[in-house]
Chains A and B, each alone.
Chain A
Amino acid sequence: MNCQVANPQVTEADACAKPAAVTVRPAVDIVEEAGQFTIIADLPGVTQEQLTLETEQNKLTLRATGQVPQPVRGQRPGRRDVQFVHSFSLGAQVDREHIQAVLKHGVLRINLPKLQKAQPISVPVQVAG
């Protein structure tokens, strides 16, 4: 066991026990451009395998488990499991079939294209007679 017990009231088993994952809401930016919305979420310590993104009806939910540094007395900083959870309501103008997401350097970028507006159709008028 490589755990230090600084407080005499804490047993070695308690000191070495892995702390439960805390659930947090990630810091998120949302920007709107002409053709799309972009959601940018800080997910430090998260790898692609630890991330899920789901849509259900008008809700987009991201769940990710990452490991972020936490101090350990007198040792190399340990890592603590953190669960990032956040849901977004999708407006009617989001094209849900073409949502794309990229995870890079601990940041998730979700691109939500807007639905193409129906193009005006010109109806040819035939002149009778």
Chain B
Amino acid sequence: MTTLNVLNGLNGALRLQGDLERLFEALPRPVRYTADAVHTGEDQDNYYAEAVLPGVSPEHIGVTVEDNVLTIRAQRETPADGVRWLQRDRAQGEAVIRLRLSGTVDQARIGAEYRNGILTLTLPKAEVAKPRQIPVQVQ
């Protein structure tokens, strides 16, 4: 399971760092996008997770949250029967990606966008997780 450790979001992001680079180093083998190609990060207001899922119809992508686990299920197109395969590099079947959430994600406002084969999840931070400026009073 891929862990998005939002209590310690930076470490969570770093743990996943380098996945894509490792894939690219695999030249001259082709770049095959699997469920491992997930990257996380954050800014002041949100956590983010991006998954590379080329060729999946948007209606075949499901994002659910249950017991603080966010699950992405993406059903890749099943090849037609009766064709002759001359080359087969691309990932097949269902991709399942799980991210563990902590209480600092506002789960009701999680957003997902799929564009050009890349799924971007926006996980808004709960107010308690946002940085706060504490006014300093000068006496």
CA–CA, A78 to B40, complex, Å? 10
- The segment from B15-23, B94-102, B104-112 that touches chain A is B15-23
Chain A residues with Cβ under 8 A from B85's Cβ?
29-31
Whether A75 pairs with B55 at a CB distance below 8 angstroms is no
Known: A29-B89, A68-B20. A44 touches B118 (CB 8 A): yes
B37 to chain A minimum Cβ distance, whole angstroms, is 8
Interface residues on A, range: 35 or more
Bound Cα distance from A49 to B59, whole angstroms: 25
**Within 8 Å CB of B33, what residues of A?**
27, 42, 44
Cβ B41 vs Cβ A75 within 8 A: yes
Tell me whether A77 and B39 are in contact (CB under 8 A).
yes
> What separation, in Å, do the CA atoms of A109 and B54 have in the docked complex?
12
* B residues in contact with A74, CB < 8 Å: 9-10, 13, 41-42
- Interface residues on chain B, number (Cβ under 8 Å): 50
* A106 touching B118, Cβ below 8 Å: yes
The answer to whether B17 and A27 touch across the interface, beta carbons within 8 angstroms, is no
| Residue pair A40, B90 in contact (C-beta under 8 Å) | yes
B30 touches A73 (CB 8 A): no
Q: A62 at interface (Cβ–Cβ under 8 A)?
A: no
Contact A107/B55 with A25-B30, A69-B39, A76-B41 known, Cβ cut-off 8 Å: yes
B interface footprint on A51-70 (CB within 8 Å = 1, 0 otherwise):
00000000000000010111
Q: Are B20 and A73 in contact (CB under 8 A)?
A: no
**B95 vs chain A, min Cβ distance (A):** 13
Interfacial residues of chain B within 17-76, with CB under 8 A of chain A in the complex: 17-21, 24, 27-33, 37, 39-43, 46, 48-50, 52-58
* B117 closest partner in A (C-beta): A106
Q: CB distance B87 to A30 under 8 Å?
A: yes
B137 in the interface (beta carbon within 8 A): no
CB atoms of B118 and A45 under 8 A apart = yes
The answer, among B18, B50, B56, B82, for a CB contact under 8 Å with A77, is B50
Cβ distance A47 to chain B, nearest Cβ, rounded Å:
6
B→A interface (CB under 8 Å): 9-10, 13-14, 16-21, 24, 27-33, 37, 39-43, 46, 48-50, 52-58, 79, 82-91, 114, 116-118
CB-based closest 9 A-B pairs: A106-B117, A107-B55, A106-B54, A44-B117, A27-B89, A69-B50, A30-B87, A77-B39, A71-B17
A residues at B contact (CB < 8 Å): 22, 24-33, 37, 40, 42-47, 66, 68-78, 80, 82, 104-107
